[in-house]
Amino acid sequence: MRKHQKAILYLEDGLFFKGKSLGALGETSGEVCFNTGMTGYQEILTDPSYAKQMIVMCSPHIGNYGTNDSDVESSNVYASGFIIKNESLSPSNWRSSGSLEEFLKLKKVVGIQDIDTRALTVHIRNNGAMKGIISTDDFDLDSLAKKIQNVPSMEGLDLAKEVSRKEKTTLCNVENPKYKIAAIDYGMKSNIYDILLENDSEVTIFPASVSSDEILNYNPDGIFLSNGPGDPAAVSYGIETVKKLLGEKPMFGICLGHQILALALEAKTFKMKFGHRGINHPVKNLKTNKIEITSQNHGFAVSNDSLASNITVTHTHLNDNTIAGIACEDVQAYSVQYHPEASPGPHDARYVFDNFFKMMDSNA
């Protein structure tokens, strides 16, 4: 039986939970938000979209199948903390190469376990996502209350420039690619470019700060706007670049890329109360009237009241009727708020990628 130190989770409204350490020892902070998925904890931890966030897993038992070198969305862990009810002490899976605890220690992630995560989730649902601190060193509530004042709010925070790659990278798995895709990296998950590569594409991934001239000089068949963390309205340079690229090439965006496309089309975004994070979110395709179960991870959304007349809402989230997809045929652009590349799943929305390739074929 592993020994764990005492740990505390302190929230900005003064609520606190005492538990045991999970992973690395020390202190960490960020926005506390919950994920409703029963699986996918390794993908969550390594998804750049979770930068500066401490993730509460709603499922009470986490770590059952261990960790491995394949189920990662990037080479780093971007979540700033991890919060669970119980850790599996004996992970069992033929692909497992280590435990969740070992992975968190290796990546220096501070976490907490043995707290009532369902009560914490209900508190966030009722009061909204809020700043928090996990500590194995400081248990003085007055001290933690002072520290939490210095934790930045997610609203107004540009994190895309922090997680984006710094240099252009070209990927291709075939000798004669059918498509040239320019992908703007605001925090791109590896499973997205894997799907693009599976479709005989050359994918050149550009930093978030790329200019429109650099993209057009590459002369792509299509432009992809990636997912990423933070407040989309704060990514002013990205919005300006996308504005200049509208109508030049077919364009497809996911998550933060969806929000940046909407902002470039003069729409507005807003901070949600607690966001959508999980692999079981129902979305309605308004063209087919079919319901898709989707993977989602976002704390901001596009305002329905701000859409211009040439923008069509293509998908809606059935839990709260927020926008889950838009299209603007005038400039050959569309986007979705959810993750059609979802790993570990579900895969109901994989067809969304097909539309991008059809647009590039039509534009060729």
Residues belonging to the chain = 364
Unique residue bearing structure tokens 């971007």: 78
pLDDT at 338: 96
SS3 63: coil
What one-letter code names the amino acid at 26? G
Using one digit for the tens of pLDDT, what is the confidence trace for 283-299?
999 999 999 999 999 99
pLDDT at 167: 95
- The arithmetic mean of pLDDT across residues 114-118, rounded, is 97
- Tell me the C-alpha distance between 9 and 23, whole Å: 14
- The arithmetic mean of pLDDT across residues 28-36, rounded, is 97
Q: Flag whether pLDDT at 98 surpasses 60.
A: yes
- Tell me the C-alpha distance between 197 and 179, whole Å: 9
Using one digit for the tens of pLDDT, what is the confidence trace for 207-228?
999 999 999 999 999 999 999 9
Using one digit for the tens of pLDDT, what is the confidence trace for 224-272?
999 999 999 999 999 999 999 999 999 999 999 999 999 999 999 999 9
* End-to-end Cα spacing for the chain: 61
- Structural tokens at position 255: 């998550």
The CATH number assigned to the domain with range 160-363 reads 3.40.50.880
**Domain boundaries defined on the chain:** 6-148, 160-363
Confidence of residue 2 (pLDDT cuts 50, 70, 90): low
CA dihedral 274, 299, 129, 149 (to 10 degrees): -160
DSSP summary character for residue 311: P
- Structural tokens at position 246: 């509208």
- Tell me the C-alpha distance between 206 and 195, whole Å: 17
CA angle 3, 10, 120 (to 5 degrees): 85
The residues annotated with a catalytic role in the active site are: 255, 339, 341
- Tell me the C-alpha distance between 143 and 139, whole Å: 8
pLDDT at 343: 77
E strands, 286-356, are 291-302, 312-317, 323-328, 333-336
Number of CB atoms found within 10 A of residue 127's CB: 14
CATH of the domain spanning 6-148, picked from 3.50.30.20, 3.40.50.300, 3.30.70.980, 3.40.630.10: 3.50.30.20
242, 175, 38, 17: which is closest to 111 by C-alpha? 17
Q: Flag whether pLDDT at 1 surpasses 90.
A: no
Confidence of residue 157 (pLDDT cuts 50, 70, 90): very high
- The arithmetic mean of pLDDT across residues 66-90, rounded, is 94
Q: Flag whether pLDDT at 89 surpasses 90.
A: no
